[in-house]
Amino acid sequence: NHTTETGPSTGSAMPSVAPAGKSLRIAVIPKGTTHEYWKSIHAGAIKAQQELAAKGTAVEILWKGPAREDDRNAQIDVVQTFLSQKVDGIVLAPLDSQALVSPVADAAKQKVPVVIIDSALNSTDYTSFVATDNKKGGLLAGQQLAKVLGGKGKVIMIRYQQGSASTEQREAGFLDAMKAVPGITLVSADQFAGPTVDTAYKSSQNVLSRFGSQTNGIFMPNESSTRGMLLALKDAGLLGKVKFVGFDSSTDLVTALKANQLQGLVVQNPFKMGYLSLLTAVSAVKGEKFEKSIDTGVTLVTPENMNTPEIQTLLNPPIDQYLK
Amino acid sequence: MSTTASPSVPTEPPKRLPPMSASRLLSLFGPFIGLLLVTLLFSIRPDVREHFLTPDNFRIVVTQTVITAIGALGMTLIIISGGIDLSVGSVLALTSVTAAIFLRGHQSPWVALLAAITLGGVVGIVNGSLITALRVTPFIVTLGTLGIARGAAKWLAQDQAVNAPPTWLNNLVATYPEPSWLIVAPGVWLTLILAVVTAVVLRATTLGRRIVAIGSNETASRLSGLRVDFLKIGIYALAGLYFGLAGGLQFGRLGMGDPTGNMGAELDVIAAVVIGGGSLSGGEGSVLGSLLGALIMALLRNGSQQIGWSDYVQDIIIGVVIIVAVALDRLRHRKPAG
Amino acid sequence: MSTTASPSVPTEPPKRLPPMSASRLLSLFGPFIGLLLVTLLFSIRPDVREHFLTPDNFRIVVTQTVITAIGALGMTLIIISGGIDLSVGSVLALTSVTAAIFLRGHQSPWVALLAAITLGGVVGIVNGSLITALRVTPFIVTLGTLGIARGAAKWLAQDQAVNAPPTWLNNLVATYPEPSWLIVAPGVWLTLILAVVTAVVLRATTLGRRIVAIGSNETASRLSGLRVDFLKIGIYALAGLYFGLAGGLQFGRLGMGDPTGNMGAELDVIAAVVIGGGSLSGGEGSVLGSLLGALIMALLRNGSQQIGWSDYVQDIIIGVVIIVAVALDRLRHRKPAG
Amino acid sequence: MTPELLTKQPAVLEMSGIRKSYPGVRVLDDVSLTVRSGEVHALMGENGAGKSTLMKILAGAVRADAGTIHLDGQAVEIDTPLKAMELGIGIIYQELHLAPHLSVAENIFLGREPQRLPGWIDSAKMRRDAQDLMDSLGMTLDVRTSVGGLAVAQRQMVEIAKATSRKAKVIAMDEPSATLTAHELENLWKLIRRLQAQGIGIVYISHRMDEVFQIADALTILRDGHVVGAKPISEINRDEVLKLMVGRSLDETFPKIVAEQGQPVLEISGLSRQGVLEDIHLTVHAGEVVALAGLVGSGRTEIARCVFGADKMSGGEMRLGGVPFSPRSPHDAIAAGIGFVTEDRKEQGVLLDLSVRENISLASLPKISTLGFLRRRQEQANAKKSVEKLRVRTPSIEQQVGNLSGGNQQKIVLAKWLQTAPKLLILDEPTRGIDVGAKLEIYGIINDLAAQGVAILMISSELPEVLGMADTIVVVRDGRIAGTLSRAEATQEKVGQLALSG
Ligand SMILES: Nc1ncnc2c1ncn2[C@@H]1O[C@H](COP(=O)(O)OP(=O)(O)OP(=O)(O)O)[C@@H](O)[C@H]1O
Ligand SMILES: Nc1ncnc2c1ncn2[C@@H]1O[C@H](COP(=O)(O)OP(=O)(O)OP(=O)(O)O)[C@@H](O)[C@H]1O
Ligand SMILES: [Mg+2]
Ligand SMILES: [Mg+2]
């Protein structure tokens, strides 16, 4: 159980905000808890916590997400409950750009700083925004696919789920990239993969059954959909024959990349996101200086560049080192 | 008014019933016992209690309960009449999207809310009509409309969350209401008023008694000259109005219409009714019980989070509480075995 | 009374039954009609038909059906006995995670599969025992275990998908099986064998007869000497074994155990049974029907995606088909009113 | 009313040319029925003759294929129960139809509750009116109690109150007396006389010949869906009625054969059950028929349920075949050789959705199976034999039991238990709703069983049956044994007196 981690309390440098012996309580609220992506964020936050502790600021991380990544109500409830617990600061990956506006406004009223991570929020009440440029990610993926296709061919994109802002931006970015290449036609871009690998697998099978024989390239906008498509390609005997670019990383996907079953993965830096967001939140609580907006960057990983040390740290964030 | 006809205690064996026995006391306060137990559970640890037993937290929990509670009121009517409605989650999404679309089209908030309520009623009429016309069980019809309403919501919303400018609708389920003398959100008061109205309808009106009669023995009701089909359509329509209202409030809560939201809400709503003493075979159910059932579930989620239990502990505990609550309820009024 | 029947007793068809009426034909081929209609629907457009009506696509669809179909077989037993099980989705997740964990721990695939099946049976025993011991309706008990099993899955998996090395389990539900003379995945054959066994149990054994009897009138069954509680536990346990097997195959299909997977699968499984002629009030249900029900639903999704309908059109069409299929079924054997 | 006066009365109800078929069965064929104002018109016929169906058509619960109905000389179309009610037709169905979660008062006034304002129930008035009704029926029953907890006879009285409380021109009563004992029956008859005086026409269905000749003014007899006779009661006698009903002459006296008694099979001593039974002593020998007599609610069924393991006893002991016996479930009791024909056939006796064959074999599945597999042929053969032996009127053994007439369903229950070849057979109201011919067959079966050494414990509310068939009569009152009489010493008066006051 790693729900709450308490750093060693070695007294505080700022007794006015955090009286001696009492640590700062920062709630970190992901969109979900199951994906490796969120674990990396958690690990990054813990790294920041340990560094802060070493500098004499004790921070308690309250890690809690909604059960499902599409349950806006549940995430609102989580935020509100933390507010009633009087946490000192909040790091939030909003499930939705609109739905979380009012709880964040509540936080602002109570003078609790909120650092938004991962996805945007339609509001000005937050303290700082630490995120990836998802549209740029989609664009990178599209450019890579166009490159490996030699600028022509038929392409499939299966969307993730309705109402998921970050993947919608990736999809939009990808479509922009495709539009820029006249030799490429999109044969299917309006089906959805659904929330799990299983749903993505079925969806991919069905779409491939119709278009598989004529398809040259594929893009999938997140980890579970990329995984599902890999399974479907394997079934259809198309692994390696169709050019395929995915998004996000996991052990399986990295293996596929190595085997040249994927020609590219666009990865974010969730570890850095978690790390920076906690530091930013603590700075805000303590009234120190902080950045209003931080881009943690997207990187295109290809079979060629995947063994470079920078990419290796991106692909294998030191999760185990921080999360037992 | 006759008090023995209370829908929550209908099957007590009549003759040998002691006037105010332990079992009768239990049956009156039974639903509160669950509430009390859950509250105690989270008040043991002082560090949790400190944040749990506060007016602020109470405010948060009751506000979180509103949508499930209003849904549960409608569902209580349906379940007492021997039916069930699985389409609630989808209808919440559909009507909240509708409210958002109206607002986005610069209609007044009143019109938007009314549109949501009306659409809820329309879906109810469709459900009721299909059930009576096709003679298909409510479970299946509403499983079908679950898909249809969800599809309609996605279609209306063009597969995207529908944002709308803020209006007073957003204040309806705000945790800190304006004006602040309201103490809790207007939506909470609305829920209470609706609950009283529903309880009165069930106990004191012909409609209410007929709802119980249909759930208790449909054939007998038909043979007694009740227009069962007509009544059923009416019940689903009425409940649909509640669901539409809940959808309107759901819009207010999020400030947007989410076509993929509230999935699985039907199970929460049904669980609330059954925890509160409703019987899925019809004829039994209590308005107060359903409200408390909804509250218990919200309290459980809230408390689990405050105590810092993981997601899976929460899943497990809520599952256990549902079973235990209903088991206690069965002990209260045990039926003679066959 | 004599128990040794003389073999000479004539067993010609009962006297006044019309030899082969339209309604009898309908009731035999009814479930196929739905299948045919759906197939026709997607075969109208030549460009879709070209890819839809192919052996390869058939292979894909039947393979996708396997898990729902096996679940539906177990659910058929439960529904015929007058019960219901909402925990299926969670049990699928729990048992697929279990299989993954065993494999990751370097157990043989046989052990992993057996573990999944056994655990499914254990959850079934728990469900059955709670239902009979607490006298709480199956809907509520399994709503509770839905949460509990889901929580257990997340806990076992430590909130993460559990990856495991590939074994022959992954071949069980592969679209192109090895050896290739199998034509379809071994899992499909397994499903068919299980279906035959289940149908034989239901029609030709005392157990089957008792399952039907309990679903038809529990009190009368008890008074006729059936050990109803014992049987019920057995039925949920047996169905649990099916669910466990389905969970094992689910693992095989993905090559991983996903603790958050298969949410809502219970509704698919129940819908399959009911589309196939099962009645939620017990006593009725057909193995063949349930299989076809599962197939119809998979075919609908497959076809909709091939034809390129949007998600919402799919939602709506599937909803409509569920209602229409059951309405047709009701026409087939209409019960006397009043 | 005298017959002469009656024939001058106008007809309130005229049904003519009524036809009704179900798949495979023609139930009613050109049936006519004329009921005059103030007349009690008995409708008689064997089980499955079509009596209930005719009444359901009258009440709008079933639609006829053809035929006309006139009320007060005017042709009417009755398509729903509501319509029938509005036209002034009241009915007491053979199978009770009450809402268990509602109170007695609410059931009586369901659908036409007294209202203060439109839609608002005036519950005080409703309660008063209901109480008055029950009082006038001689029932001491608080109308606020919910129907779910009432005994069958009490529910029957609620049905009667419900049907008669409406402003009706015609009231149909489908075997109202089947579940009643003498006391309630007397009240029912008083009520019928009152209704009669108001000029209401009454259709009265019963299989009890005595009753019919006591209360009816005229009589219509159905056989196989045809009217085979319609006469004023004064122009017909019992033998003729019997002959018309069954198509042959019948000797109506009880065919009791006293069998040789063997060892005690069931010995009950000091049996009690909290709040229901106290200190019951009872012995049934092989070949003996012991009848439990008593008023409704006296606890006879409870005794049977305890013996059968369906209810737990709280004190006392039982021996079966000389060895101590304490069944924990019906399963135990059946395994030990007990059979139990329950009184409530719809809830506890038959499985309405299943076929005749499946119902008959339900309690004896182990006997017709090998290693858990059913021997289908044997099952069919057994079912056929039973159907023939008990003369069940059914198109086939595959017919759903729910489609059989009430009396035929009762025969299926009996057939089911005969399959188990019990040592002790408990019969709770075994001839309820059974026609005269079939009754005689059942009595014959009881004789046969007794002759084979089966012990029989019979519960019956029909005194003549008790007196006619029992070797020993045990009278139960308020959960205690009020007295035991041998066949020789028992008379109607003695039993009645014991049942009422000891
Ligand atoms: N829904 C139905 N489907 C098929 N057959 C039916 C149906 N309802 C009644 N029957 C048949 O109609 C015939 C007449 O039934 P009905 O109930 O009218 O008999 P009854 O004269 O009232 O007999 P009883 O004295 O046993 O009550 C029976 O043979 C019965 O099997
Ligand atoms: N479900 C019940 N709840 C409460 N009391 C009951 C219930 N069932 C029966 N009783 C009461 O138990 C007593 C014994 O009933 P029982 O059925 O044994 O009587 P009985 O002599 O067989 O009468 P009947 O002729 O109606 O069958 C009655 O007072 C009855 O009202
Ligand atoms: Mg009848
Ligand atoms: Mg009795």
CA distance A26 to chain B (A): 13
Q: How far is CA D405 from the centre of its chain?
A: 12
- Does B154 lie at the interface with C, CB-CB under 8 angstroms? yes
Per-residue confidence band for D270, with pLDDT thresholds at 50, 70 and 90: very high
Q: What is the number of residues in chain B?
A: 338
Percentages helix, strand, coil for chain B (3-state, rounded to 5) are 70, 0, 30
Omega prior to B179 cis, within 30 of 0: yes
Is it the case that residue D393 has pLDDT exceeding 70? yes
Query: What digits encode the pLDDT tens for the residues D87-141?
Result: 999 999 988 899 999 999 999 999 889 998 889 999 999 999 999 999 888 888 8
Query: Residue D455's closest CA among D470, D476, D477, D435?
Result: D470
Q: What is the number of residues in chain D?
A: 502
Chains in contact with A, where contact requires at least 3 CB pairs less than 8 Å apart:
B, C
Domains: count for chain B: 1
Query: What digits encode the pLDDT tens for the residues A194-224?
Result: 888 888 998 999 899 888 888 999 999 998 8
Give the pLDDT score at B15. 39
Q: Strands of D264-273's sheet, edge to edge?
A: D277-285, D264-273, D315-320, D323-324
Per-residue confidence band for B21, with pLDDT thresholds at 50, 70 and 90: low
User: What is the average pLDDT score of chain D?
Assistant: 91
Judged by CB atoms closer than 8 Å, whether chains meet at C258 and A197 is answered as yes
Q: How far is CA A223 from the centre of its chain?
A: 10
- Does C334 lie at the interface with B, CB-CB under 8 angstroms? yes
User: What is the average pLDDT score of chain C?
Assistant: 86
Q: Name D75's bridge partners.
A: D70
Q: How far is CA C83 from CA C149, C227, C239, D67, in A?
A: 19, 16, 11, 44
CA distance A168 to chain B (A): 9
* B36: in domain: no
In ligand 1, the atom with minimum distance to the C-alpha of D405 is 17
Which of A65-69, B331-335, D219-223, D398-402 has the least mean pLDDT? Answer: B331-335
Judged by CB atoms closer than 8 Å, whether chains meet at B323 and C144 is answered as yes
Contacts of D76 (CB under 8 A, 6+ apart): D69, D70, D87
- The C-alpha angle A94, A95, A101, rounded to 5 degrees, equals 55
CA distance A120 to chain B (A): 14
Give the pLDDT score at D209. 87
Which tops the pLDDT comparison, A77 or D288?
D288
Which ligand sits closest to the CA of D276?
2
DSSP element (H, E) containing D219? strand D218-223
Give the pLDDT score at B333. 58
Query: What digits encode the pLDDT tens for the residues B141-155?
Result: 999 999 999 999 999
**Mean pLDDT in residue range D141-147:** 92
How many Cβ contacts (< 8 angstroms) between chains B and D?
115
Q: How far is CA C113 from CA A223, A224, C120, C182, in A?
A: 27, 24, 11, 21
Q: Ligand 4 centroid to A242 CA: how many Å?
A: 78
CATH classification of the domain holding B130 = 1.10.3470
Q: Where do the H-state alpha helices sit in D44-173?
A: 51-58, 81-86, 104-108, 123-136, 152-164
Query: Residue C72's closest CA among C261, C207, C274?
Result: C274
Q: Which residue has the tokens 């969350």?
A: B161
Query: What digits encode the pLDDT tens for the residues D318-363?
Result: 999 999 999 999 999 999 999 999 988 888 999 999 999 999 999 9
Pocket test for ligand 1, best of D29, D403, D411, D434 (most atoms within 8 A of CB): D403
C-alpha to C-alpha distance for A291 and A130, rounded to whole angstroms: 9
Give the N- to C-terminal CA distance of chain D in Å, as an integer. 37
Which tops the pLDDT comparison, D295 or A170?
A170
C-alpha to C-alpha distance for C251 and C87, rounded to whole angstroms: 18
C-alpha to C-alpha distance for D280 and D270, rounded to whole angstroms: 5
Portion of chain D with pLDDT greater than 70, in percent: 98
Is it the case that residue B192 has pLDDT exceeding 70? yes
Residue of D nearest to C206 (CA): D372
- The C-alpha angle C50, C56, C59, rounded to 5 degrees, equals 130
Judged by CB atoms closer than 8 Å, whether chains meet at C227 and D310 is answered as no
C-beta atoms surrounding B112 within 10 Å: 25
C-alpha to C-alpha distance for B234 and D494, rounded to whole angstroms: 58
Give the pLDDT score at C30. 64
- The one-digit pLDDT tens for each residue of chain A (324 residues) are 333 333 333 333 333 344 445 789 999 999 887 777 888 999 999 999 999 999 999 999 999 888 777 778 888 889 988 988 889 999 999 988 888 888 899 899 999 999 999 988 888 899 999 998 999 999 999 999 999 999 999 999 999 987 677 888 999 999 999 999 999 999 988 889 988 888 899 899 989 988 888 899 999 999 889 999 999 998 888 999 999 999 998 888 999 999 999 999 999 999 999 999 999 999 999 999 888 999 999 999 999 999 999 899 888 888 888 886
Q: Give the pair of three-digit tokens for residue D315.
A: 């004190």
Q: Give the pair of three-digit tokens for residue C62.
A: 């039947």
> HSE of A300 in the Cβ direction (CA atoms, 13 Å)?
17
Phi, psi of B137 (to 5 degrees): -65, 145
In ligand 1, the atom with minimum distance to the C-alpha of D225 is 14
ipTM of the complex: 0.85
Q: What is the number of residues in chain A?
A: 324
Give the pLDDT score at C25. 60
Is it the case that residue B327 has pLDDT exceeding 50? yes
In D, what residues contact B, Cβ < 8 A? 59, 61, 80-82, 85-86, 91, 93, 97-103, 105-106, 110-113, 115, 119-121, 123, 126-127, 142, 144-146, 148-150, 162, 275, 310-311, 347-348
**Are 3 or more Cβ–Cβ pairs between A and D shorter than 8 Å?**
no
The helix/strand count (H/E) of chain C reads as 14, 2
CA distance B102 to chain A (A): 17
Per-residue confidence band for C27, with pLDDT thresholds at 50, 70 and 90: low
Pocket test for ligand 1, best of D31, D53, D56, D387 (most atoms within 8 A of CB): D53
The helix/strand count (H/E) of chain A reads as 11, 13
Which ligand sits closest to the CA of D297?
2
Give the pLDDT score at B254. 84
Strands D74-76 and B162-163: unpaired
In the chain, the amino acid numbered A82 is F
User: What is the average pLDDT score of chain B?
Assistant: 86
Portion of chain B with pLDDT greater than 70, in percent: 89
Q: Does residue D301 have its Cβ closer than 6 Å to ligand 2?
A: yes
Query: Residue C269's closest CA among C249, C298, C248, C241?
Result: C298
Per-residue confidence band for C24, with pLDDT thresholds at 50, 70 and 90: low
C-alpha to C-alpha distance for A57 and B132, rounded to whole angstroms: 67
Is it the case that residue C338 has pLDDT exceeding 50? no
CA distance A35 to chain B (A): 14
Q: Does residue D178 have its Cβ closer than 6 Å to ligand 2?
A: no
Query: Residue B29's closest CA among B335, B337, B332, B330?
Result: B332
Which ligand sits closest to the CA of D408?
1
* C3: in domain: no
Contacts of D329 (CB under 8 A, 6+ apart): C222, C227, D309, D310
What angle do helix axes B186-204 and B228-254 make, rounded to 10 degrees?
170
Highest mean predicted confidence (pLDDT) among A204-208, B294-298, C148-152, D25-29: C148-152
Contacts of D153 (CB under 8 A, 6+ apart): D179, D180, D181, D184, D296, D297
Q: Residue C84 sits in which domain range? A: 47-333
The helix/strand count (H/E) of chain B reads as 13, 2
Contacts of B236 (CB under 8 A, 6+ apart): B78, B83, B85, B124, B125, B127, B128, B131
Q: Does residue D53 have its Cβ closer than 6 Å to ligand 1?
A: yes
Which tops the pLDDT comparison, B7 or D223?
D223
Query: What digits encode the pLDDT tens for the residues C180-189?
Result: 788 888 999 9
Is it the case that residue C14 has pLDDT exceeding 50? no
Q: How far is CA B245 from the centre of its chain?
A: 12
Chains in contact with B, where contact requires at least 3 CB pairs less than 8 Å apart:
A, C, D
C-alpha to C-alpha distance for D130 and D113, rounded to whole angstroms: 11
Give the pLDDT score at B28. 63
* B149: in domain: yes
Q: Does residue D462 have its Cβ closer than 6 Å to ligand 2?
A: no
Contacts of D362 (CB under 8 A, 6+ apart): C209, C213, C221, C224, C226, D351, D354, D416
Percentages helix, strand, coil for chain A (3-state, rounded to 5) are 45, 15, 40
* B200: in domain: yes
Which tops the pLDDT comparison, B75 or C325?
B75
Residue D498, SS3? helix
**Mean pLDDT in residue range C92-98:** 97
Q: Which of A198, A211, A225, A248 to mutate to test the interface with C (most CBs of C within 10 A)?
A: A198
Is it the case that residue D291 has pLDDT exceeding 80? yes
* B56: in domain: yes
Query: What digits encode the pLDDT tens for the residues B30-58?
Result: 668 788 888 888 888 888 888 888 888 88
Residue of B nearest to D148 (CA): B11
Query: What digits encode the pLDDT tens for the residues A158-203?
Result: 999 876 778 889 999 999 999 999 999 999 888 899 888 888 998 9
C-beta atoms surrounding B110 within 10 Å: 12
